[in-house]
Amino acid sequence: MDRLFENAATHRGVSGTRGWVVAPLHGLNDPAAPQGRYILVAHDLTPADTAALDLDRVAGFCTASGGPTSHTVQVAHGLGIPAVVAAGTTVLELPAGTVCALDGDAGLLHAGLYGPDLQKAIAREDAMAERARVRREAAQAAGPAPGGVVLSTTFVKPAQAAELTRSAAAGIGLLATELLFLGREHEITDEDAHYRAYLDLARAVRGAEITVRTLDIGGDKPVPALNLPKEDNSFLGVRGIRLALRRPDTLLIPQLRALYRAAADGARLRIMFPMVTTVEEFTQAAAVAEKICRELAAPRIPLGVMVEVPACALAVDRFVEDVDFLSVGTNDLTQYLLAASRTNPALARDIDPLHVAVNRTVAHVADTAGPAGVPVSACGGLAASPVGAAVLASLGVNSLTVTLPAIPAVHEALSRLDDDSRQSIRHEALTTGGTRHLTEHVTTLLGL
């Protein structure tokens, strides 16, 4: 009999990573797990756990805890595996080997499938795989995204480099550098290790532009090797650029030196600083970068900031005088605007990435940066959703950083936008907002 486990945020349309998969269920570190593919069930997974999953065996995962926009979910999405999070502790009681269907789109785990129900689930999996194939081929044939919106991709594993060159992506719009060192965090302060990683990646993507986010450590991405003090609220603590500026000799300077060395050897790079709150934080980091650039006689690299702290978004008019580009980090911006932790399952129902306040903030950033000639990109789970991508483009965002598996569906949505639909979507986003309302409006308008 089909037993249903629901993501706490399903009614918001926020469901973790997308997709549908049918497989037996097994727990984390289950010695009985088969060599074939299965759905992993666990209390929670860290971003490091997720990035280390063997994708030849793990088809998807379901966790009792977590949040729908956590970094764990973003890593899973980047790997192209569906997931359901915050399903509750009863999911841990399911016996190993239970045949399940995991619906990442709706945030549901159907457990105990057999007979006609199982056959229907398998048929749906096959149909979704075929639709994804058709979309992927259409996006590849069409080339760059229409409507002047540039599509780039996020990056999780070096093995994805070849796939990127076959996609409609113009390059890597977000290289989360801390993820390059998962499992070998002792190298995170090693300049040569960074240099080799960036140069190898640049060669693997055949010269495509790479936007490198400097180390964003903290929040739900701790690095034990750094011996950071425990914080009561790490998301509001010493993370991102705050940490880098406090430890320039071990974090900021080695990484920047490695980046400029790679640029001198032919890598096409942009540098993006995370969790920036004040203009002074950016100018301080930029001064370090420019000094290193002169010392190494390296080419100039464009410098930008992540707009994910409300203070940065509201004072963006001060930033556009100094930065080369801006990138809206929709997951953290939503978390801070709505005062709802992205990793707290009890708040999963309260996280709405298309809340009218989020939409108005994104529009303010784009409307301010545009006249100043500063391009604005957006990344996060919202950009990887066809509806979210359509909304962001209608709000004035110039480029979207999308996980590789999501590029075909986002490309299709953007291809259906015209001036009239953009105006309609923008009006609804800025007046009513909300994922449920905008999903209905955009899907009807664009025929998605």
> Quick one: what percent of the chain has pLDDT higher than 90?
49
* Residues annotated catalytic, as ranges: 71, 379
Q: What is the CATH number of the domain that holds 73?
A: 3.50.30.10
What is the mean pLDDT of the segment spanning 4-8? 55
What would the pLDDT profile of 395-426 be if each residue is shown by its tens digit? 999 999 988 888 888 998 999 999 999 999 99
Residue 183 has pLDDT above 80, yes or no: no
Q: Give 64 or 297, the one with higher predicted confidence.
A: 297
Is residue 219 situated within a structural domain?
yes
Same domain, 118 and 160: no
More confident residue, 3 or 281: 281
Based on the domain organization, do 173 and 83 belong to the same domain? no
Mean pLDDT of 13-31: 70
pLDDT digits (tens, 9 = 90+) for 111-161: 888 888 888 888 888 888 887 777 777 766 656 666 678 889 887 566 677
Asked if 6 and 108 touch (Cβ cutoff 8 Å), the reply is yes
pLDDT digits (tens, 9 = 90+) for 272-305: 999 999 999 999 999 999 999 999 999 999 999 9
Of the listed ranges 37-46, 254-263, 302-311, the least confidently predicted one is 37-46
Give the pLDDT mean for 193-206: 92
135 inside domain:
no
If DSSP codes are grouped into helix, strand and coil, which group holds residue 129?
helix
Domain boundary among 95, 130, 165: 130
Query: Chain-wide mean pLDDT for the chain?
Result: 87
**In Å, how far are 104, 351, 364 from 89, measured between CA atoms?**
18, 21, 41
Residue 191: which CATH number? 3.20.20.60
Of the listed ranges 244-248, 321-325, 382-386, 437-441, the least confidently predicted one is 382-386
At 320 the pLDDT is: 98
Distances (CA, A) of 365 to 77, 359, 396, 417: 26, 10, 9, 21
pLDDT at position 13 = 31
Exposed / middle / buried, residue 115 (Cβ in 10 Å: 0-12, 13-18, 19+): exposed
pLDDT for the residue 301: 98
Structural domain of 93: 3-130
Residue 120 sits in the same domain as residue 163: no
Q: Is residue 136 part of a domain?
A: no
Please count the structural domains in the chain: 2
Sign of the C-alpha dihedral computed for residues 240, 268, 204 and 261 taken in this order: negative
Average pLDDT, integer, range 223-242 = 81
